């Protein structure tokens, strides 16, 4: 390969080193991965074999600068594998993921390299922090195991990486296959005309002309269930959702056993203890204590809510009834329904007059569309982001629409990391799964998700660190959701909401009384929302603390049922937000023994929202402080130290309990 015929071999010459998506083809990935891994190993070997005494510069910073080609191809490839996969991409992914696990082990289990890291000394606190992180990484990767243990660890890592890929690909296929086909529009009573038209267009795009297709989102609860009057169709949609991933049942029990074995090999009781040792929570006991504080009041709230819904329905409700009757009770109490609000949430207006406007008011940012720069799919749009003084900050890519080639959920990726050492500025992308329409109208949950994911984007864009190891969102898993959850507060801030909540046809603002009722309804159904989240969290916890390595633990379905029963959250009408077989967060997306992170981060988030409220809210000085003390730091400081510097004390759980109606 030569740079002339291969887009990965040299850094991109596009603005901010944006990957040259117009030039990248599937056949480029395989050779780039092979050469990238070979170059990286050669660079690492040169560091390990360096005859000069180990220093921070020739060992730690040399490692920071190694593997650039591999980083370039990995970043682009795995973004595409999630956002716009193909059979060819999936085949490459199956082949390359175990190779990458083997490659990582070859570095972390290199005894000469680890010896150099142990020998480095520095008087600089920032350098010492990075050195400590490297040493911790190597120890947690098995650097201090004996030869036989390392050999077993290599096999475990290779198999686990392969199983995670299989899980992800199986789930995507099953989610597409289980989309619910509706023959007659009359069955869709309750949906708005534009929503029905969207289902017709989706069916036509999949070769089902004349029919209607209800595609599935990643969580258990499906948006259409709040509106469909046909109870039989609601049940079909719910069962399609909860039946996903049946082929993954045996696979996840295998993953759980292997993770437990790996944790034991590394000196931990179970996988959760291994994970928590490197998170802000610190111990499994700390997480268990927090969950215990939430379960009892949340379940009590959900039971009271269920009684109110059954009074409305006139019969014992099932899981597929909850959203429908919750919407009816919501309408009765607050004279509001989701369909009434959607015309006021048109995607482009929410983005520009809501998300971007809030960032401009709080941080002084300016966004300039760059149609001359191409994304990896025609739906992807690119904006250049500037600071208030006109200095360039980075690029933001938005990929907002659902498609069959995209995995479910919403997420942020860094395509280029900010680094003072490399002189690079950030390029970040947000992915959502909003059904495209003419116009594209959103639910308020989708609006909130857009603000949430942009909070992650800001974390990446505002990164101001020297070393790429600490760039942007490179923080503990149970801290990474904190900035994104804080950004959700601006979705309902009066000034911001008034700026974007306008009727897509008339431009009229959402009526004040509708706004007031919408805000008043925010705490409605919080028992359900908290319990469905806690049920998923407790499933994750059970798989990674209680699941034994032998076959005696039983199959996935029975283990899940027993775990929920034992935890006291097995309300039949409130299923987990994710059941085990389609819980991509914990089997394929890095949240294993970490799904608690959302509620753990929400403690920090609710406390921070209280700070903003106490200090005047949407003010530039508040944004500047949050940016300087937290968003710019990445992983370059201890995250809880950064929080205390910002808040002036340790976090309090009371604001969270108040928010969720648990006091």
Active site residues: 453
Query: In this structure, what are the phi and psi dihedrals at residue 543, rounded to the nearest 5 degrees?
Result: -60, -30
**HSE (side-chain half, CA atoms, 13 Å) at 562:** 11
The SS3 call for residue 389 is: coil
- Classified as helix, coil or strand, 367 is strand
Q: How many CB atoms lie within 10 A of CB 251?
A: 18
| Beta-bridge partners for 230 | none
* CB-neighbour burial class of residue 378 (10 A; exposed 0-12, middle 13-18, buried 19+): exposed
Burial class (CB in 10 A: 0-12, 13-18, 19+), 404: middle
- DSSP per residue over 468-502, as a string? GGG-TT-S-HHHHHHHHHHHGGGGS-HHHHHHH-B
Main-chain dihedrals φ then ψ at residue 599, nearest 5 degrees: -75, -35
Which one, of 610, 615, 595, lies nearest residue 654 by Cα? 610
Cα distance between residue 609 and residue 488, in whole Å: 10
Backbone phi and psi for residue 58, each to the nearest 5 degrees, phi listed first = -85, -5
Residue whose entry in the numeric block shows the structure tokens 């609006």: 447
Residue with tokens 């292997």: 258
What are the C-alpha distances in Å from 383 to residues 18, 505, 527? Answer: 12, 26, 39
Q: Looking at residue 579, what DSSP letter applies? A: -
Three-state helix/strand/coil letters over 259-325: HHHHHHHCCCCCHHHHHHCCCCCCCHHHHHHHHHHHHHHHHHHHHHHHHHHHHHHCCCCCHHHHHHH
Distance CA 200, CA 405 (A): 19
- Reading the block at residue 528, the tokens are 């359900």
Q: Helix (H, G, I), strand (E, B), or coil: what is residue 638?
A: coil
Burial label for 653, CB within 10 Å (0-12, 13-18, 19+), is middle
């Amino acid at each position: 390969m030569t740079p002339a015929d291969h887009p990965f071999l040299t850094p991109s010459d596009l603005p901010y080193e944006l990957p040259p998506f117009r030039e990248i083809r599937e056949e480029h990935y395989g050779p780039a991965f092979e050469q990238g891994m070979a170059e990286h190993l050669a660079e690492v070997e040169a560091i390990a074999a360096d005859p000069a005494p180990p220093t921070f510069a020739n060992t730690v910073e040399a490692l920071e600068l190694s593997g650039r080609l591999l980083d370039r191809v990995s970043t682009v490839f795995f973004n595409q594998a999630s956002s716009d996969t193909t059979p060819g991409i999936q085949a490459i992914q199956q082949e390359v993921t175990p190779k990458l696990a083997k490659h990582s082990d070859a570095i972390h289990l290199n005894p000469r390299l680890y010896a150099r890291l142990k020998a480095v000394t520095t008087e600089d606190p920032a350098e010492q922090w990075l050195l400590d992180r490297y040493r911790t990484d190597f120890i947690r990767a098995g650097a201090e195991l004996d030869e036989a243990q390392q050999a077993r660890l290599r096999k475990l890592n290779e198999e686990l990486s392969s199983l995670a890929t299989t899980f992800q690909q199986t789930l995507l296929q099953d989610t597409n296959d289980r989309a619910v086909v509706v023959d007659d529009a009359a069955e869709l009573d309750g949906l708005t005309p534009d929503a029905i038209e969207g289902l017709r267009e989706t069916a036509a795009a999949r070769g089902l002309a004349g029919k209607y297709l209800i595609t599935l989102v990643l969580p258990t609860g499906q948006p259409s269930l709040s509106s469909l009057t046909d109870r039989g169709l609601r049940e079909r949609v719910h069962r399609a959702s909860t039946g996903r991933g049946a082929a993954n049942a045996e696979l996840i029990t295998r993953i759980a056993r292997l993770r437990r074995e790996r944790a034991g090999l590394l000196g931990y009781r179970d996988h959760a203890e291994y994970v928590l040792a490197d998170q802000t929570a610190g111990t499994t006991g700390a997480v268990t204590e927090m969950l215990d504080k939430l379960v009892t009041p949340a379940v009590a709230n959900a039971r009271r809510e269920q009684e109110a819904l059954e009074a409305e329905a006139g019969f014992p409700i099932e899981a597929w009834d909850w959203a429908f009757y919750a919407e009816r009770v919501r309408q009765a109490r607050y004279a509001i329904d989701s369909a009434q609000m959607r015309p006021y949430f048109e995607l482009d207006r929410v983005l520009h007059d809501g998300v971007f406007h809030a960032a401009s008011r709080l941080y002084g940012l300016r966004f300039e569309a760059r149609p001359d720069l191409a994304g990896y799919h025609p739906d992807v749009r690119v904006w250049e982001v500037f600071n208030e003084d006109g200095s360039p900050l980075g690029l933001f890519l938005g990929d907002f629409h659902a498609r069959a080639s995209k995995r479910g959920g919403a997420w942020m990726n860094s395509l280029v990391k900010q680094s003072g050492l490399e002189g690079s500025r950030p390029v970040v992308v947000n992915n959502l799964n909003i059904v495209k329409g003419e116009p594209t109208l959103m639910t308020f949950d989708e609006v909130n998700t857009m603000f949430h994911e942009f909070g992650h984007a800001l974390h990446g864009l505002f990164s101001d660190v020297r070393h790429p190891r600490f760039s942007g969102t490179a923080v503990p898993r149970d801290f990474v959701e904190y900035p994104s959850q804080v950004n959700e507060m601006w979705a309902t801030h009066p000034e911001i909401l008034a700026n974007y909540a306008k009727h897509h046809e008339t431009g009229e603002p959402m009526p004040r009384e509708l706004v007031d009722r919408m805000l008043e309804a925010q705490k409605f159904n919080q028992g359900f929302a908290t319990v469905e989240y806690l049920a998923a969290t407790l499933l994750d916890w059970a798989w990674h603390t209680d699941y034994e390595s032998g076959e005696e633990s039983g199959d996935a379905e029975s283990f899940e049922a027993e775990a929920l029963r034992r935890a006291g959250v097995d309300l039949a009408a409130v299923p987990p937000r994710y059941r085990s077989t389609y819980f991509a967060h914990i089997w394929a997306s890095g949240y294993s023994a970490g799904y608690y992170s959302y509620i753990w981060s929400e403690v920090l988030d609710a406390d921070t929202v209280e700070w903003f409220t106490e200090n005047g809210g949407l003010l530039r000085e508040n944004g500047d402080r949050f940016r300087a003390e937290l968003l710019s730091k990445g992983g370059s400081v201890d995250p809880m130290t950064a929080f205390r510097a910002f808040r002036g004390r340790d976090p309090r759980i009371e604001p969270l309990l108040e928010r969720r109606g648990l006091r």
